[in-house]
Amino acid sequence: MQDARHSPPYDLPPPATVQLYGGAMTCELPEVFMNISGQTNAPDHQEVMLWSEQKTSVIIEVLDRLSDRYTFMTPGDPGDSDDSDEDESGAMLHYLATLTADSADRDDNGLEVPIGDIQRCREGLGKTHVAFTVGTYVKNPDALVGSSRAEPHRTVIWLGLIRYRFPREPERDADILIHVVVKYYPGTEDDEDEDLNKELLSEKAHVGRRIRNNVMRTLRVVDESFFAPQEDAENEEDEEETVEEDPEDAVETIEEDVEDAVETVEENADDASDEDPPGPARVRGTGRRRSP
């Protein structure tokens, strides 16, 4: 996905600094976003923000870093690295595959969903840590107009991944996953497909991509003590035994947030006006021990 391509002339609402995880991290989002982590009972490692008018949500989560076994060179050298950094885009593909595991869509190559090009991000934290961006979408052909429970017939997802490293303390390494989710409901949007490798993107999808890019550019870590050591990092044998389970378990909650948690807030949209200022983030942790 070429992030430098032209976007439609749409002015986003003014930005505001959002406190994440009790101030341990910050980023900038349009001021219309509301922090709904408390309303959705999001787990401690997630922060969930919603722009209800545009049916657009931003989910940021801090996960234990995936094992190096998920690191590999993908076709086309998406990392496009001109230094000694290894290409770690395999981690992005793993998260993407887990996120879209339930999609029935298949393209000509047998992929579950069409994806844009994986791009190396060198802005913000991407200047000092390996980071990637990608876009994808999933279809729900069973979504019906007028159904008792509104379901999106198409969901565009803009992903960002920052592989946050501590060179001298690898047990504290983490993956920061950002996904901007844009939902299309039957009867409210046109039904043309999104082509993430071309210009066939609706204005709404372009806005979601710009929001993702801005989060990648402005995300800051204020308190690194937030990144506690991974519980199994001291025992390599245990890490090998759990590597098959831990990454998938860690991201299972993504689909729940995208499909269920945000819908809960949409049902209460009348009580949460876009004009209200974003609520403060609760003091949250990663679910791991906090560093002393």
Question: Does the pLDDT of residue 50 top 90, yes or no?
Answer: yes
Q: What is the pLDDT of residues 130-142, one digit of tens each?
A: 999 998 887 765 5
Question: Does the pLDDT of residue 4 top 50, yes or no?
Answer: no
Question: Does the pLDDT of residue 168 top 80, yes or no?
Answer: yes
The continuous run of DSSP H or E covering 155 comes out as: strand 154-164
pLDDT of residue 9: 54
Contact between 208 and 152 under an 8 Å Cβ cutoff? The reply is: no
Alpha carbons 144 and 88: distance in angstroms, whole number? 40
| CA-closest candidate to residue 1, choices 96, 67, 83 | 96
Question: Does the pLDDT of residue 290 top 50, yes or no?
Answer: no
246-267 mean pLDDT: 46
What residue type is 12 in one-letter code? L
Alpha carbons 106 and 142: distance in angstroms, whole number? 16
pTM for this prediction: 0.71
Joined tokens for residue 271: 């009580």
Q: pLDDT confidence of 203, banded at 50, 70, 90?
A: confident
Alpha carbons 11 and 77: distance in angstroms, whole number? 34
Instruction: Write down the H helix ranges in 132-226.
Output: 203-218
φ, ψ for residue 271, nearest 5 deg: -90, -5
pLDDT of residue 153: 74
Alpha carbons 94 and 98: distance in angstroms, whole number? 6
β-partners of residue 49 are 35, 58
| CA-closest candidate to residue 78, choices 199, 171, 161 | 161
Give the residue with greater pLDDT, 198 vs 59. 59
Question: Does the pLDDT of residue 287 top 50, yes or no?
Answer: no
| CA-closest candidate to residue 69, choices 98, 93, 33 | 93
Q: pLDDT confidence of 171, banded at 50, 70, 90?
A: very high
pLDDT of residue 28: 98
Alpha carbons 179 and 196: distance in angstroms, whole number? 15
Q: What is the pLDDT of residues 63-115, one digit of tens each?
A: 999 877 666 544 444 444 444 345 688 888 888 888 876 555 545 444 456 66
pLDDT of residue 55: 86
Q: What angle (nearest 5°) sits at the alpha carbon of residue 27, between those of residues 95 and 83?
A: 60
| CA-closest candidate to residue 176, choices 126, 235, 239 | 126
> SS3 of 220, please?
strand
Give the residue with greater pLDDT, 283 vs 208. 208
Question: Does the pLDDT of residue 166 top 90, yes or no?
Answer: yes
Question: Does the pLDDT of residue 245 top 70, yes or no?
Answer: no
Tally the C-alpha atoms within 13 A of residue 33's C-alpha that lie toward its C-beta.
29
- List, in order, residues 6 or more apart from 240 with CB less than 8 Å away: none
pLDDT of residue 117: 82
Question: CA of 43: how far to CAs of 59, 97, 175, 226, 256, in Å?
Answer: 11, 21, 16, 15, 11
Find the range with the poorest average confidence among 23-37, 82-96, 257-271. 257-271
pLDDT of residue 89: 83
Contact between 79 and 265 under an 8 Å Cβ cutoff? The reply is: no
| CA-closest candidate to residue 180, choices 41, 43, 49 | 49
pLDDT of residue 278: 34
Find the range with the poorest average confidence among 15-24, 41-50, 186-195, 196-205. 186-195
- Sketch out the chain's domains with CATH numbers: 16-271 (3.40.1000.10)
Find the range with the poorest average confidence among 174-183, 199-208, 237-246. 237-246
